A = this chain, B = another copy of it.
């Protein structure tokens, strides 16, 4: 029997702007009786990484350009919010009522450049700043690598780290967890050329393991008010790899679905 276990501390503390994550992670897992062990995969919601890296912006500081106002009128959103999205984006993919999908400067295609206003304490910066929004981490692969190094240096254990976000998908309703940053894991496995059970060569088998790890963790982490922004996957046959999460991106000219 092959086995895999997932666990997530309940009541993880709310992360304040600039607060380092490692002590909170160690405390929550130790108190829950499950300290990190070699070969664990630690999955973190993008939101706590962004909070820890103080990626807050105040929409009150933003001045919308004409371009932002045009898009805002078409998608029925706030012009300064749209300007904040454009500031994080390389291209606009889709703009229709209630939907603004862009290609983020990091390469990901997603709604609103991943800028989020939920689960943000409006008082957590100061009293005057009340239109806060949270950007994606500046370099999620680097964030994952830094945390992995800290864990190795501090705890002496060798773990993989995945930073997850929830993306919508073309053709299918709802969101699933996807990997937007990783270190020490294999986000995608190229099995093309391997043989199947009958010796037939596999043509297209490339499981997006990083995204499946993020999706599995989301089953425990939830997305509303669960208060479980970290989860650990234990028992996976881990193949350490130096591939970044950007290995999961289709090049524009290879994106045959567009």
Residues of A whose CB lies within 8 Å of any CB of B are: 1-10, 14, 32-34, 93-94, 96, 99, 101, 108-109, 111, 117-122, 166, 168-178, 188-189, 191, 194-198, 200, 202-209, 211-213, 215-216, 218-220, 222-225, 227-228, 233, 236, 247-250, 255-258
Contacts and interface: CB of A to CB of B under 8 A. Distances in A.
A122 B196 CA distance: 12
A215 B111 CA distance: 22
B119 A256 contact: no
Contact of A207 (B3, B93, B166, B257): B166
What number of copies of this chain does the assembly contain? Answer: 2
Contacts of A101: 256-257
A1 B118 contact: no
B256 A198 contact: no
A4 B171 CA distance: 29
26 contacts: A1-B34, A2-B9, A4-B6, A6-B216, A94-B256, A101-B256, A117-B200, A118-B203, A168-B204, A170-B170, A172-B208, A173-B250, A174-B208, A175-B205, A175-B208, A176-B176, A176-B207, A176-B212, A176-B215, A191-B223, A191-B224, A194-B224, A194-B225, A197-B225, A207-B218, A212-B219
B111 A204 contact: yes
Interface SS of chain A = loop
Contacts of A119: 196-198, 200
Contacts of A8: 1-3
Given A3-B7, A255-B171, A212 B218 contact: yes
Given A119-B197, A171-B249, A175-B206, 6 more contacts: A1-B10, A101-B257, A111-B204, A170-B258, A194-B224, A209-B219
Contact of A172 (B9, B173, B211): B211
A257 B170 contact: yes
Contacts of A222: 207
Contact of A197 (B173, B205, B227): B227
B7 A200 contact: no
Given A3-B5, A94-B256, A223-B191, A173 B248 contact: yes
Nearest to A254: B173
